[in-house]
Amino acid sequence: MNTGAPADGDKVRQWLVEARLTPKVQANIDRLASSEDVRLVVVLPDVHLGKLINNGCVAATVDLIYPQAVGGDIGCGFSALGFNDTAEFLADDHNAQKLIRQLHQQVPALKQRTAQSLPAKLTDWALSDDSLVKASRREGAFQLGTLGCGNHFVEFQRDDAGTLWLMVHSGSRAMGQVITEFHLARATTSGTGLKHLDTRATAGQAYLNDMAWTVDYATLNRLAILARLVELVEAAFGITAREESYINSPHNFARRERHFGEEFIVHRKSANSASQGEVNLIAGSMGSPSYVVHGLGEERSLCSSSHGAGRVMSRTEARQRIRPADVKRQLGAVKHDAHQLHELCDEAPAAYRDIREVMQAQRDLVRQSARLTPVLNFKHPDRRVE
């Protein structure tokens, strides 16, 4: 008997920091849980409000796939690797500011100046429609190796032994949006207002195919940034990377998985897979640690965990409540671009949960294997207002 299988009255399972969720967040959970073919919803401790479906949520279905439960930035995630030296060189402010200037030059926010060659893994993969192929040659080629804005970041970190690490947070850029919108236009609207595709039909299979392509694009996008920065650090500071330390940790995707003796389509929106022994990354804020973790394979959570700390303020609220001086104080010793402080109030550490509380709330989902403390954080500000 699969005692962990979802039963009536057990359709939503929660690992939370707060005692109660806000009404809007709860309404999104209720909408997802009551949608057609949704068998189980898992709410993780970094949950925060998203459009129609929250970030930090996992949903299991049998036949239907919900693109909105994956999110528009398909394949978004963290990638990281360690180096063969310590982070001590970044204690020198001259070195830190030199690196920040090079980051501005080497890691664009939105587009490259010239088209990049897409890896054969992407060009040999048949997308489901000619319009998507054309988009991959247009948006895809010009955005490969770009960071994006807002909470996407490049961060140099140190583990507890002092060893230097590099982490990148980025996704599929415009390609995720293009592919999501293409399939949503062909989806069926359920009674709850969410849109789904049937994986037993051509349309659902096409989304699965294109989503998998986009997850790979996002991974290769982060790899392009990592590769460029590894070359930069070696050339400028003589420090080499440990390629065997590479970790790739996507958190916006769906795939078929077996749980409770049944096969489900597991949707993760801003959530990690946490199968037994699986290595992933959980990020803090600009001023708090991130963690390398190993999954504990907890079936009740669909073998999932949080992907980060999770927002406690919307961007608009953070811009209203947090001043540049607050950001500087909250960052403490973390190196940053001081000229951007007034534009980064919505990304201040205070806009996020305490990552220690998040990790404590999911201690039965993952085991910490390394703590990565930020030394230098780089972001392109998001000038949109929620």
Is 86 buried (19+), middle (13-18) or exposed (0-12) by CB count in 10 A? middle
| Distance set, CA 246 to CA 42, 80, 268, 270 (Å) | 28, 6, 22, 21
For residue 367, give the nearest of 235, 271, 275 by alpha carbon: 275
Rounded (5°) CA angle 109-112-116: 135
Q: Which residues pair with 308 in a beta bridge?
A: 283
Map residue 86 onto helix, strand or coil: strand
Strands 304-306 and 271-273: antiparallel
- Structural contact between residues 283 and 29, judged by C-beta atoms closer than 8 angstroms: no
For residue 165, give the nearest of 247, 221, 231, 280 by alpha carbon: 247
Catalytic residue of the set 251, 307, 336, 380: 307
* Active site (annotated) includes residue 196: no
| Distance between CA atoms of residues 273 and 295, nearest Å | 8
Query: What order do you get walking across the sheet with 262-269 strand by strand?
Result: 12-14, 38-48, 55-61, 262-269, 252-259
R_g (Cα) of the chain, nearest Å: 20
Angle between helices 173-184 and 202-237 (to 10 degrees): 170
Which residues are known catalytic residues?
Answer: 307
